[in-house]
Every structure is written in structure tokens, then in C-alpha cells.
Structure 1
């Protein structure tokens, strides 16, 4: 499974799949988007260009067919892979995934202040967006941890006790370890046309959504499911945005070859 990390995060959030991958005999390959984490910066004009980079990685690893999944703002990148690499991608899943923003005002549906501010700002000026990312980067770890707990649902808050909470904070910190330009670009791409049509995703597509998600509301999951020809909505009871902490085994089982 190729994993597409969340927004304001990095490939380190795939840590939630380590144990599940070992239990299921699955290889999980997580790739930082350009300029995020340890990835070199390069201009990526639209989300629909991301599959070209994934294909390069897949070729270098000798992968044939594989599944893709993505969390939050990583969901669109997973769907792009399915739409534009139909011969390679056999199934796709989104976890608390974002739907397209038909109007920039829809950014204000999102529960994270950084999303509500950065998505519109990134459409106006990359320099302003980069400055705002630097502001968010300055928040202390204890503040990030408290925000994760505050915005989680009942079940994911309990699952994030101890070490898993540190995985979320580490993934956020890793995103800007080599600068903020990549994260600012991520916000620019999510707020405009994605460069592919959801209707072109012909593979089985599972849309996982926590019914207590305060960051990416359930209306996004419904819009995605209605737009995907083979979309299936799976609501996770008593859960918020941090679904990777809860359903890694379920996601891998769902994406396993049949």
C-alpha cells in the first residue's frame, strides 16, 4: 500500500500502520510530497501531477499493482493515483479525506484554524502562506498535543494516549524540517482544481469517516462517495479525525487483493 500523508504532516504519520502491516504481511510505502519532510522541493502545479512521482518510486522498487490510501488532505493524492494510474492501482481508500472545494469559502467548513487560514492565503500569495506556516511551526509540542486531544473523538482520543500521540506531533514537526515551502504548496494545491476528475476513479474506493470528526466534516465524505463510481462510505462510530490510530488493520484488510 502506498500511503499519502495528511496535510500539515509528513510521511511519518504512516507509523500508525507499522504494527498492522506486520500483522497483515503488508508493505506500507510512505512518500513525502515535494519539499515536505526529507523530500527535495520541486514545483508540483496540481494534485494530478503527483501520480507521476509515485510511479517513479514504484518503478524503482519494482512494484507491479498496488493499493493506495490517504489521510485527510492526503486523500486527494491517493484518489489522483487511482484516477491516473488505473493499470497500477487496484484499490483506493481515504481516511477522513477531503472533498474538492468548489468555492474557496468551503475552506471555512474545516475545523482546523490552519486549514481555514492557509488554504485561502495560499491562493493569494505563496509568501503569505509560507509566513503563516512558520507561525504554526512555532507552536510548542505541548500545544500541538493538547490540540490533538481536544479535536479527537472519543475512541481516537483514547487510542492516542502515550506513544501514538507523539507520532502525530513528530509527523507535524517533520513536515517542515527542511523549510516551509513544501507545506505552503500543499495548501495551494488543495484549494484549487485538482487536475483530475473523481468520476475517473473506476477502482473500488472506500471512504472512511469518523462520525465525530470536527476537522474534516462528514459532508466531505458524502460528497466523495457520491462522486466516486465505486465509492463505499464506512462510518466509524465514536471516532474523530485520527482514524489511522484506530482502523489500520481494517484499512489493510479492505485493500487486500481478493
Structure 2
């Protein structure tokens, strides 16, 4: 892993990390909410093997990236365009996980001449009238309602979480292991994996590096109108989603997918929300991506 920071044209810092093959096919990774550029403890052998260069970013307020006041979802396209120019990358693809899916869709919509393809993994979907869907787990809906109507209360909860991560990391991991009835069997099983938990701790620690405002701001942002319609996306979109996902219900994803002009879908029957934590699924995603890129090269 190579950690780095670039300074954007407005003076903000943007943190990013590079994994896999530095000379490989560029694929930008957009983390969930909350999240960070830390996707792997050291590197990703699967991306190395396949010749893919993974560029993971910290969104504003997370990790090494400065906060952006009054930001909109589409604003992130400008940050990514600048980062691509900084890295001398003319064309690239994007992959967004969970809340990061909204940003991947936004970048794809805003930069059709730069983005080859967009991969949405256990993605968030647009809210209707700013409200989370009733098919979402109660626990997740409550968090979004708190973000919108009583952010001060959510802020106290997030501060407690950050304190636990910073001061009692072992207890934090034990808490994660307990999972919960609101999670699918798949997700509860994933949380028994020690490697996943260790990486999750590092990922979360970076996410809260600057405090808790990043997650509060972004949670609120995701309840708002995305600023574009998914049917206006003109680049190929690939969806990977678990049928048992309780954070982002598959029915909402299927309804969204029907509106996207060029779409390929992979719905995993027994899978939950934590798809990228499965080596098998992650390899399938990257192999499929590599194959689609080879196809594009052959027809051009």
C-alpha cells in the first residue's frame, strides 16, 4: 500500500492509497459511510495478480482528506478528476461500496468522457422524499432519521464509537463479533473472521481520524436528492448485491437497476451486505471487471 496526499485546486487535501499493480488498469475505490482509503492491511494480492491498480480515496472529512463545507454529491467528481490528472490517468473505472455507490454513480454521471465503467457493490440507493426505505433494517433507518432530525444525538453516539475504537480496540472488535439479529447470517459469519475484524479496525480508525463530523455530514448528504437521475448515466454499470442485504435492501437496488440504460447485475442469493470482505466475491468482482476491460480493448 502506498499512502499519499494531493492538494486540490481549492486548497483542500485529498488522501488516497494505491494497491495492486501500480501500472495496471486503474480502478478508483469509493468506501462506505463511514469509511476510509484503508481497504487492505498491506496490499491486495488479487489485484496484483490480475494487473489492476486500485486507487482508494478518503472522501471529505475522512482520513487524510479535508472537510468540504456545504458539499453536494456531485462535487466529488471534481476531486476525482483532479486526482486522475495528478496521477496522469486519462481513463479509469470506479467502484463504490455501500454509501460509496452513490459517489461512484455521481462521478460516472458527471465524467462520462473519463469513466469507462461503474461498479456498484451493496450500493446505497436514492431516498424518496429524503426518507430511508421501509425495507431497510430498523437500526439503519433510525441512524438516518437521527442524521436528519437530531444530529446532536447521533454525534454523541458516534463520539462514543470513536472513543471505543481509539481507547479500547479489543473491546470494539469483540462488540463487532457479536453482530446482531438485524444482520443476515452471511454478515454475522463475516464478523467472525479475525482478518476482517483487524482490517475493519484500521479502516474505522482512519475514518474517524478527524472526528465524527465526516459521518454526520455524509449521512445527511445521502438522504438528499443526488442531483441527477440514474437513468441519465451513459456509461456501463455493473451491480453486485446480496439478496439478504439488510442495510441496502435488494428490492430497492433492483428498482434502481431497471432505470439504468446499460446495466449488468449480479444478485447473490445467500449474501448480505459485506460482499467485499469475502475473498471469493471480491475476486469474482475483479475478474469480471478485468474481463470487461479486455472486451472493451478488443472492440476498439
TM-score by length of structure 2 reads 0.77
Cα deviation, 1:59-102, whole Å, max 9, x if unaligned, reads: 10001111101111110100111100001101011111011001
**d(CA) in 1 for partners of 2:42, 2:228:** 29
Q: Give 1:56's aligned residue.
A: 82
Q: Which residue of 2 aligns with 1:253?
A: 287
| Structure 1 ranges of 4+ moved more than 4 A | 14-17, 125-129
CA separation of 1:129 and 1:55: change in aligned 2, threshold 3 A: farther
Partners of 1:159 and 1:137 in 2: how far apart?
19
| Residue 12 of structure 1: how far off its partner (Å) | 1.6
Match in the other structure for 1:3: 29
SS of 2:52 mapped into structure 1: coil
Distance 1:160 1:234, change over 3 A: farther
Q: How does 1:133-144 map to 2 (within 5 A)?
A: 133-139=158-164, 140-144=172-176
Cα offset, 1:112, TM superposition: 6.9
Q: CA RMSD in A?
A: 2.5
Deviation string for 1:126-155 (max 9, x for gaps)? 545433422343453321233289835438
- Taking the aligned partners of 1:16 and 1:191, their CA distance within structure 2 comes to 34
In structure 2, the CA distance between the partners of 1:170 and 1:151, relative to structure 1 (3 Å rule), is: farther
Matches within 5 A, 1:166-185: 166-185=198-217
C-alpha distance after superposition, 1:162-197 (max 9, x if no partner): 212321232223211111111111101100011222
Does the Cα contact within 8 Å between 2:190 and 2:274 map onto a contact in 1?
no
Q: Deviations over 1:209-230 (max 9, x none)?
A: 1122222111122122112111
Q: If each structure's strand is expressed as a fraction of its own residues, which one has the higher value?
A: 2
TM-score by length of 1: 0.89
Could you tell me which runs of 5 or more consecutive residues in structure 2 were left unpaired when the two chains were aligned.
Answer: 1-26, 165-171, 296-300
- How many pairs does the alignment contain? 257
Change (3 A) 1:146 1:156: closer
8 Å contact kept, 2:30–2:103: yes
Larger radius of gyration: 2
* Stretches of structure 1 lacking an aligned partner (at least 5 in a row): none
Q: How does 1:102-121 map to 2 (within 5 A)?
A: 102-111=128-137, 113=139, 115-121=140-146
Q: Is the 8 A contact 1:50 1:81 kept in 2?
A: yes
Tell me: CA distance 1:100–1:150, structure 2 relative to 1, closer, same or farther (3 Å).
closer
Match of residue 98 from structure 1? 124
Pairs within 5 Å for 1:173-212? 173-212=205-244
The 2-side partners of 1:28 and 1:138 are apart by 30
